[in-house]
Structure formats: structure tokens, C-alpha cells
Amino acid sequence: MTLLQNHRQLLNGSKLVLLILLILISHLLAQEKNQFQKGIQFFNSGDYVKAIEYLEKFSDQKSEFAETANLILILSYYRLNDLEKTKNFISRFESNFSNSSSLYIVLETKLAIAIIQKDFEGIKNSLIKLNKLSVKKEQVKDFVSAFNKMFTFLNDQSINELEPLISNSILKFSFARARFQNEIEKRNSTLIKKYYTELIKIGFREELLKVNKIGVLIPKEIKSGSIENLIIEGLKFGVHRFNKLNDGEIELKIYKGDQKTLENALVQLAKDPEVLCVIGPLYSNQFKALSSLAEKLCIPLISPTATASDISIKSRYIFQFNPTLDVRGYAMASYAIDKLKLTRFALLNSDNPTLKSISNEIKKKIKNSKCELIADLSWNENKKTLSSKIKELRKAAASRDLVIRFTPLLDFETEQKLISFGMKQDLIDSLKMVEAEVSIFEIFGKDAESICKSNKIDFYKRTKSIAGDLNVPLYSIDAIFIPISDDKLIPAIINEIENQNIIALRIGNDNWNSLEELNKAYPASNGVIFTSDFYFDMEDDSFKDLSEEIFEYTKIQPNRTFFYGFESVTKILSNWNDNLHRENFYEKMIDDRDYEGVSSDIILNKDGVNSSVYIFEYRGKKIKKIDRIISN
């Protein structure tokens, strides 16, 4: 009984000792965990010395905290710039924790040290090992930064030796992005295009890249209500509307400044592969200055307003969404020649340099169409010189006139032919009595010569000078092309032509689009034809609805300038999809032959210039859109 009792007492004593030991171990483990957590806290707060002090004791492989402790020690020593200690702990980590999910962080640090120490073999070794791991997408930015540093000291031969070693998608993407940015700084178009293509290929496949930005370059001085401000508002509204209707995420990156600032901004935008294209600058001289840089950087540059004809460098990256002056000149001539089938023309050619390309294109079209330019007159847009120029025009028309001579000897057969064309016998008789000369163009119209020839009706040059006889109308000119830079000239031009009794179609450029000035010359201005790049149908319900939507969002009543911005960005966004990027932008824009906007159509020719121009007619004190010319 006593032994048993003693035995039970002993057993109870052993349990008590074991319990005490367990409590002590638990307390020690709690203390150890507490020390480890303190080390982590010091690291997170940036006190790397304290972190090392607390964590170094856990670096032994036997500790359950060893893997994490070694990782934090690597990062702490690295951030304290103790690279040798960092390398020692990296070697230990690679040996003891080769299957760790954090190994890519260690190898990334190893790569960083090799780059700092300009150790080419170390760089190569680190990249080969990193290739085998699953690198996280979040590390792209760090790898891009590391590669950029590497490019500052490695020569092209070394870089080209490293590139084939990289097979991991994240690393390949990071390498291509760094190389892309590096080549942009060098303005190396060939390699910019190569690495951009690589970025797009991997980025789209691995969902590392989303092209969803449009750059905007605007001059520094912007006032409320200014042209620049209205265009920006048009761009913003276009993006807002697209995102709303398509659940999109398109954003504008707007830069404002002087020419140098805009050049730097263009480079920064080009470096960001998420930027599809850049809109701006607005004016021809600004746009021309940046177009050559955009060409080198291989980024699409679009002007919504520039009209100068000498900007185009036949590039895949330069676009003018507003028809150039030569396109407008072509439209004027094409409508007269191809649509109306007119053949005899005069050109009242302003010596304003901005209009030169319009006149040149008109003359080129006349020549290529084998039509006749009866008069090519230049003037300085001064009303004082206008009268003498229109007199010259009448003189040229008179010298080109062809007539039927009505004499008592006019044969019976000719009389019968004239009657068949609607001429009354009593009129023929009265003309014969006074031996009149009547213009064939007055009798038969624009095709008079071919009609006379096919019907064997004789015609002749005038024997009497009628240039000074303003009672005799002249029909020998089918149309007069009159490009002007100031709509205030319209009444004076119309009235002088009327006074000189020249019966011809008057065809003008965009500056004739002034209802106020045309009305001043009415009714002589009736029938004037002119071109324009924009048109609002104010009575159209859809236009009214859009105008209300614009005002609600911007508090702006939209006008022509606002729509320059809106139409430009809407043309781009109408072709937007997940595969759109800088290298297929040209094809997408050129192939889109269907964009008909609210205020203008944007249909590009092979040079990236909008080739769509409206034709308007003024009649009965109203302006009406009657046609559209698209030059290819």
C-alpha cells in the first residue's frame, strides 16, 4: 500500500515536472516568436540595423523562422549597401532554401548586386537562374529599372549576348521595355520598332500591357474660350462619351508648354507603351516642328487642325485629320471637272502664300484632265486692284469666244439645225438682219464645240471686239476658281464679275462659307459653289440631342473648334479594340473609309491626310451641302 502510494506520488511528481517543462518551452517559444516579430517590425520601419540584430540569431537552418529571417537579412544588408554580407547570405539561401517561393526575390537582389558591381558573369548567372522561376507580374517595374541601369555600362555586344538567354515571359517583357525606352533616348527608329513589337506581343499575350492612353500636346498660353481650350474640351468629351457607352478606360495625358516642353513631353509619351498616339500640336508650324521627332520615335502624331500641305513626310506615323489646302484645291477642281464635266476655266489666283497650294492643285488637276485654263490671273486681294483683274478676265473670255455668224448668207440647213435646238425662226431672222455674231456657248452651253462639230454647224472666232462692250455677256468660261483668305472680299468679287457681264460658275474655297457676306451680294451671288471641311445640320434631331449632351457635360455650346477635338478623338476611338497599337494604327486609320462624323468626315488618303471635303451651294439666301469629294 505504501509502495503503491509512493509510486503514485512519484508519478504525480513526474507529471508536474513535465508540465513545468512544457510551460517553460512554450514561454521560450513565445519569447523567440516575439523577438522574430520585432525584427520584422524593425525591417518594415526601415531600421535595418536593428532588424539584423534581432534576426541574425534565427538564420540557422534549424530555426522554424530561418527561411524568412535569411530573406530579410539579405534585403537588410542590401539596403545598408553591405554587398559582401548580402552575397554571403544569398549563397546560404540558395544552398539551404533552393525550393523557396521567395527565391526569385533573392535572385533579383543578386542580379541587382551584379549590376551595381558591373559583373557581367554575375548578371548572366542570375538571369539564367531567374529564367527557371515563376516571376511575379508585380516585379516588372523593378526588373525594368535594373535592366535600364545595366544598359548604362554594357556595350551592345554584351547586351546582345544576354538577350537570347532570357526566356521567362516577365523577364523578356521587362528587358524589351527597358531596351525600348533606351532606344527612344537614342532615337534609333529600327530598334524602337523592334522592341515595341516585342512588348506588344508579350504584353498582350500575358496581359502585362493595356494600350489605353492618348497623349495631347497643347501650347502653354491657354485662355478660357480659346481655340486650344475648346479643342481640349472636345477631346475630353469624346473620351468621356466613349468610356460611358463602351465601359472603357481610355484616358488623356495632356501636356501644355512651349516648344521645348512639348518636345520633351512627346519623348515621355513615346516611352510609355500604353500610349497609343498623340494629338497635337494644333497649328501647322508647331505640328511640322514635332512631326520629324514623332517619326523617329515611331509614335503616331495627329493634328486635328493643321492644313499646311508641306507637312506630310509620307510617314506611317504622321496624320492630318483636317484636309490640307492642296486637298481642298483638288476638291474644288474635281467637282468642276469630274462631277460637272466642265472643261474651260479661269483662275483668279491670290498671291497670299497660304493659298498657293490650293491654286497649284487646281492648275495641276486642269492640266492632268486635259482641260483648258483660259486665264490665270494673280492679285493681292486688294479691292483697288480687283476691277482691273476682272477686266483682264473679260478680255481673256472674249478672245476665247466662238460664234455663229448670222448673215443673209446663212444656209437653210444650219437654220433648221438651230431650230431643232430650240432657236425660234423669228430670232434667227432678226439676227441675220443685223449680221450678229452670237456665242456658241450662249446657244449650246458648255458642250457647244462638240455639239457644233457633231452637227456640222460652222463656228468662228469673233471679228468684232466686244471686250469693252459690257452689254454683251460672255459665256466662254465654264467656271472661275477664286480662292480667298478673307470672306469680306466676297461682295466685291461677285459684283465685279457681274459688272463685267461674265456668265460663269464661281467656285470658292472654305472662306466663301459666309452666309452674311454672300447675302450682301445677293442675287448676283446666287449659285456660288464652295468647299468646306465641316457642316452642321442644326435641324437634325440627333445633332440637337448631342448638343444638349455636350452642354450638360461641359457647359459649352459646341462650335466648329470644339468639334475639331471631338471628331479627331472619336475617329480614333471608333477603331479602338484590344489589339490596336502604334504599329497597326496606320492601317486601321487608312482602312476606315466609313467614318462620317457629326460635323465632318475623316477619310484618310495613303499619306495620312483627310481627303474628304464637302461641296456647298449658295442659293436663295441659303447654304446647302450638295456633294462630297474624296481624293485618294
Three-class SS of 364-386: HHHHHCCCEEEEEEEECCCHHHH
pLDDT value of position 219:
84
Q: Which of 130, 134, 194 is nearest to 160 (CA)?
A: 194
Q: Are 151 and 123 a contacting pair, CB within 8 Å?
A: no
- CB atoms under 10 Å from CB of 614, counted, come to 21
pLDDT value of position 12:
43
CATH of the domain at 347: 3.40.50.2300
H and E: helices and strands count for the chain: 25, 15
515 falls within a domain: yes
430 falls within a domain: yes
564 falls within a domain: yes
* Angstrom distance (rounded) from CA 10 to CA 17: 11
The verdict on 314 and 333 lying in the same domain is no
pLDDT along the chain (632 residues), means of 10: 37 41 44 84 93 89 84 94 94 91 90 94 93 88 93 93 93 96 96 97 94 92 70 96 94 93 96 97 88 96 90 85 95 98 96 93 97 96 91 96 95 95 95 95 95 96 90 97 96 97 97 97 97 89 92 92 96 94 96 91 94 97 96 82
* Angstrom distance (rounded) from CA 266 to CA 490: 42
* Angstrom distance (rounded) from CA 126 to CA 390: 83
Grid coordinates belonging to 42? 524593425
488 falls within a domain: yes
Q: Are 529 and 615 a contacting pair, CB within 8 Å?
A: yes
Q: What separation in angstroms does the CA of 626 have from each of 3, 168, 505, 618?
A: 124, 60, 15, 10
Q: What is the largest CA-CA distance in the chain?
A: 171
Strand duo 612-619 + 479-482: pairing: unpaired
Q: Three-state DSSP class for 404?
A: strand
464 falls within a domain: yes
* Angstrom distance (rounded) from CA 347 to CA 396: 11
202 falls within a domain: no
151 falls within a domain: no
pLDDT value of position 310:
75
Is pTM beyond 0.95? Reply is no
pLDDT value of position 222:
53
Q: Which of 535, 506, 534 is nearest to 618 (CA)?
A: 506
The verdict on 436 and 498 lying in the same domain is yes
* Angstrom distance (rounded) from CA 470 to CA 208: 77
The verdict on 231 and 299 lying in the same domain is yes
Q: Which of 315, 311, 305 is nearest to 568 (CA)?
A: 305
The parent domain of residue 367 ranges over 327-532
Backbone angles phi and psi of 531, in degrees to 5: -100, 165
Beta-bridged to residue 320, according to DSSP, are 303, 609
Radius of gyration of the chain (CA): 40
pLDDT value of position 28:
41
* Angstrom distance (rounded) from CA 506 to CA 463: 28
The verdict on 358 and 305 lying in the same domain is no
The verdict on 276 and 366 lying in the same domain is no
Q: What separation in angstroms does the CA of 197 have from each of 193, 206, 242, 456, 582?
A: 6, 14, 27, 69, 9
Grid coordinates belonging to 108? 533579383
Q: Are 86 and 78 a contacting pair, CB within 8 Å?
A: yes
pLDDT value of position 579:
92
The verdict on 277 and 334 lying in the same domain is no
Three-class SS of 57-106: HHCCCCCCCHHHHHHHHHHHHHHCCCHHHHHHHHHHHHHHCCCCCCHHHH
The verdict on 336 and 450 lying in the same domain is yes
The verdict on 259 and 361 lying in the same domain is no
The verdict on 491 and 575 lying in the same domain is no
* Angstrom distance (rounded) from CA 82 to CA 88: 10
The verdict on 437 and 526 lying in the same domain is yes
User: Which of 532, 553, 575 represents a domain boundary (last residue)?
Assistant: 532
Written as one letter, the residue type at 330 is Y
- CB atoms under 10 Å from CB of 155, counted, come to 10
The verdict on 556 and 438 lying in the same domain is no
Q: Which of 272, 199, 243, 232 is nearest to 576 (CA)?
A: 243
Backbone angles phi and psi of 241, in degrees to 5: -65, -40
The verdict on 316 and 413 lying in the same domain is no
**Domains: count for the chain:** 2
463 falls within a domain: yes
